[in-house]
Structure 1
Amino acid sequence: MASEGMTDTSHVPVDARRLSRRRMIFLALVVATMAAMVAMLVLSFAGNGVSAGEGVMIACFLFTLPWTVIGFWNAVIGLALMRLSRDPVRTVCPVEPGDTREQSPASVAILSCIRNEDVSQVGAYLDATIADLARSGRASGFSLYVLSDTNSADIAREEEAAFERLAARWRDVMPVHYRRRADNPGFKAGNIRDFLEHWGARHDYMLVLDADSFMSSATILDLVAKMDANPRLGILQTLVVGMPTVSAFARVFQFGMRLGMRSYTLGSAWWQGDCGPYWGHNALIRIAPFAGACHLPLLPGKGPLAGHVLSHDQVEAVLIRRAGYEVRVIPVETRSFEENPPNLLEFIRRELRWCQGNLQYLKLLDLPGLLPVSRIQLVLAILMFVSAPAWIAFMTLGALLVLVGGEEMIRFEPGPGLALFATILTMIFAPKIASVVDMLVDPGLRRAFGGAPRIVASAVSEVVFAALMAPMIAVAVTLFVAGLPFGKAIGWGAPIRDNRALPLLLCAAKLWPQTLFGLAGFAWGFAVTPGAIWPLLPVVLGPALAIPFALATSGPRAGRLALASGLWRLPEESTPPECLLPLHLPAHASLGITFTPPADVPSARMEAEMGKVGA
Structure 2
Amino acid sequence: MEAPVFSKRSWQGIASLRRWLLLFLVIVQTSIATWFMKSVLPYYGGNAVEIGMLCLFAILFSWISVGFWIGVFGFFYRCRGGDPASLMRQIDAATLQQTPLTKTAILLPIYHESVERSLGGLKAVYQSVERTGQLEHFDFFILSDSRNPDIWLEEQVAWKNLCKELNAEQRIFYRRRTLNLNYKSGNVGDFLRRWGANYEYMIVLDADSLMGGDTLVNMVQLMQRNEQVGILQTSPSLLNGRSLFARVQQFGSQLYGPLFTTGLASIQLGEAAFWGHNAILRIKPFMTWCGLRKLPGRGLFSGPVMSHDFVEAAYMGRAGYEVWLEPGLGESYEESPPSLVDELMRDRRWTKGNMQHLWLMFRGSRIRLAHRAAFLNGIMSYLASPLWLGFLILSTIATTSLVLWPINYFPDPHQLFPLWPEWDPQKALILILTTFGLLFAPKFLAIADAMIQGRSKQFGGKLKMLGSVLFEIVVSALLAPIRMLSHSRYVLEALFNFTLRWAGQNRTDETGWWSAFTSHAPGMVLALSWSLFALWLQPMFFYWSLPVALPLIFAAPISVLLSKVQTGQKLRRKGWLLTPEERSGSVLVDDLEEFQEHYHIDSDWPPFIASILNPKINRFQIAMARDTKGEARLANLKALREKCLEEGADALTTVEKNRLAKDANSLRWLHEQAWRSPPESYWGRLLNPRRRARRTAL
TM over 0.5: yes
- Residue type matched to 2:56 in 1? C
- Residue type matched to 2:114 in 1? D
Q: Does the 8 Å contact 1:320/1:326 carry over to 2?
A: yes
1:434 to 442, 445, 460: 445
Which residue of the partner structure matches residue 647 of structure 2? none
Which residue of the partner structure matches residue 591 of structure 2? 582
Q: Does the 8 Å contact 2:243/2:566 carry over to 1?
A: no
1:458 counterpart = 2:468: yes
Which residue of the partner structure matches residue 575 of structure 2? 566
Q: Does the 8 Å contact 2:156/2:174 carry over to 1?
A: yes
Cα distance change, pair 56–96 in 1 and its aligned pair in 2 (3 A)? same
1:338-417 matched pairs, under 5 angstroms:
338-365=334-361, 366-406=363-403, 408=407, 412-417=423-428
* Per-residue CA distance 1:269-290 (angstroms, 9 max, x = gap): 1121111121110011111111
Q: Does the 8 Å contact 2:163/2:169 carry over to 1?
A: no
- Residue type matched to 2:529 in 1? A
- CA drift of 1:94 comes to 4.4
Which residue of the partner structure matches residue 128 of structure 2? 132
Cα distance change, pair 567–534 in 1 and its aligned pair in 2 (3 A)? farther
Cα distance change, pair 49–233 in 1 and its aligned pair in 2 (3 A)? closer
Cα distance change, pair 86–156 in 1 and its aligned pair in 2 (3 A)? closer
1:215 counterpart = 2:215: no
- Residue type matched to 1:612 in 2? I
Q: Does the 8 Å contact 2:11/2:269 carry over to 1?
A: no
1:291 counterpart = 2:300: no
- CA drift of 1:412 comes to 4.1
Cα distance change, pair 180–248 in 1 and its aligned pair in 2 (3 A)? same
1:475 to 472, 482, 485: 485
1:329 counterpart = 2:325: yes
- CA drift of 1:295 comes to 1.0
- CA drift of 1:147 comes to 0.6
- Residue type matched to 1:578 in 2? V
Which residue of the partner structure matches residue 503 of structure 1? 512
Q: Does the 8 Å contact 2:86/2:326 carry over to 1?
A: no
Distance 1:465 1:420 in 2: 23
Comparing 426-435 and 525-534, the one that deviates more: 525-534
- Residue type matched to 1:88 in 2? D
Comparing 570-579 and 172-181, the one that deviates more: 172-181
1:165 counterpart = 2:176: no
Distance 2:73 2:580 in 1: 25
Which residue of the partner structure matches residue 656 of structure 2? none
RMSD between superposed Cα atoms in Å: 2.4
Cα distance change, pair 501–378 in 1 and its aligned pair in 2 (3 A)? closer
- Residue type matched to 1:488 in 2? F
- CA drift of 1:267 comes to 1.3
Distance 1:315 1:613 in 2: 43
* Per-residue CA distance 1:148-173 (angstroms, 9 max, x = gap): 11111111111111112223334458
- Match of 1:295, SS? coil
Distance 2:218 2:85 in 1: 15
Cα distance change, pair 191–388 in 1 and its aligned pair in 2 (3 A)? same
- Residue type matched to 2:457 in 1? R
1:291-310 matched pairs, under 5 angstroms:
291-310=287-306
Distance 2:597 2:69 in 1: 51
Which residue of the partner structure matches residue 588 of structure 1? none
* Per-residue CA distance 1:502-525 (angstroms, 9 max, x = gap): 221111111012212332343233
1:27 to 16, 19, 23: 23
Which residue of the partner structure matches residue 556 of structure 2? 547
Which residue of the partner structure matches residue 230 of structure 2? 234
- Match of 2:224, SS? helix
Cα distance change, pair 608–53 in 1 and its aligned pair in 2 (3 A)? closer
- Residue type matched to 2:565 in 1? P
Q: Does the 8 Å contact 2:525/2:553 carry over to 1?
A: yes
Q: Does the 8 Å contact 1:140/1:174 carry over to 2?
A: no
- Match of 1:60, SS? helix
Cα distance change, pair 206–12 in 1 and its aligned pair in 2 (3 A)? closer
1:225 to 221, 228, 249: 221
- Match of 1:328, SS? strand
Distance 1:537 1:79 in 2: 34
- Match of 2:235, SS? strand
Distance 2:337 2:598 in 1: 29
- CA drift of 1:19 comes to 2.1
- Match of 2:601, SS? helix
- Structure 2 regions of 5+ residues with no counterpart? 1-6, 409-420, 608-698
User: Normalising by structure 2, what TM-score?
Assistant: 0.79
* Per-residue CA distance 1:358-399 (angstroms, 9 max, x = gap): 000111122111111112221222222211101001101211
- Residue type matched to 2:488 in 1? T
Q: Does the 8 Å contact 2:238/2:249 carry over to 1?
A: no
Cα distance change, pair 94–581 in 1 and its aligned pair in 2 (3 A)? same
Q: Considering only CA atoms, is the larger Rg found in Structure 1 or Structure 2?
A: 2
Distance 1:90 1:610 in 2: 45
Cα distance change, pair 512–80 in 1 and its aligned pair in 2 (3 A)? same
Which residue of the partner structure matches residue 611 of structure 1? 600
Cα distance change, pair 61–49 in 1 and its aligned pair in 2 (3 A)? closer
Distance 1:492 1:185 in 2: 12
Q: Does the 8 Å contact 1:30/1:70 carry over to 2?
A: yes
Distance 2:168 2:518 in 1: 52
- Equivalent pairs counted in the alignment come to 582
- CA drift of 1:258 comes to 2.4
Q: Does the 8 Å contact 1:248/1:553 carry over to 2?
A: yes
1:516 to 520, 525, 534: 525
Which residue of the partner structure matches residue 91 of structure 2? 96
Q: Does the 8 Å contact 2:485/2:523 carry over to 1?
A: yes
Distance 2:213 2:219 in 1: 10
Distance 2:161 2:8 in 1: 54
Cα distance change, pair 393–157 in 1 and its aligned pair in 2 (3 A)? same
Distance 1:396 1:564 in 2: 44
Distance 1:287 1:34 in 2: 42
Q: Does the 8 Å contact 1:103/1:138 carry over to 2?
A: no
1:211-290 matched pairs, under 5 angstroms:
211-290=207-286
Which residue of the partner structure matches residue 64 of structure 2? 68
Distance 2:223 2:338 in 1: 34
2:504 to 480, 485, 494: 494
Cα distance change, pair 473–247 in 1 and its aligned pair in 2 (3 A)? same
- Structure 1 regions of 5+ residues with no counterpart? 1-10, 585-594, 596-602
Cα distance change, pair 48–222 in 1 and its aligned pair in 2 (3 A)? closer
**Structure number with higher relative contact order (C-alpha < 8 Å, ≥ 6 residues apart):** 1
Distance 1:48 1:117 in 2: 55
- Match of 2:236, SS? strand
* Per-residue CA distance 1:457-484 (angstroms, 9 max, x = gap): 0000100000110110110011122233
Cα distance change, pair 525–320 in 1 and its aligned pair in 2 (3 A)? same
Comparing 408-417 and 381-390, the one that deviates more: 408-417
- CA drift of 1:535 comes to 3.8
Distance 1:130 1:381 in 2: 32
Cα distance change, pair 386–494 in 1 and its aligned pair in 2 (3 A)? same
Comparing 354-363 and 422-431, the one that deviates more: 422-431
* Per-residue CA distance 1:43-80 (angstroms, 9 max, x = gap): 21155652111111222223323431110100111112
- Residue type matched to 1:530 in 2? P
Which residue of the partner structure matches residue 86 of structure 1? 81
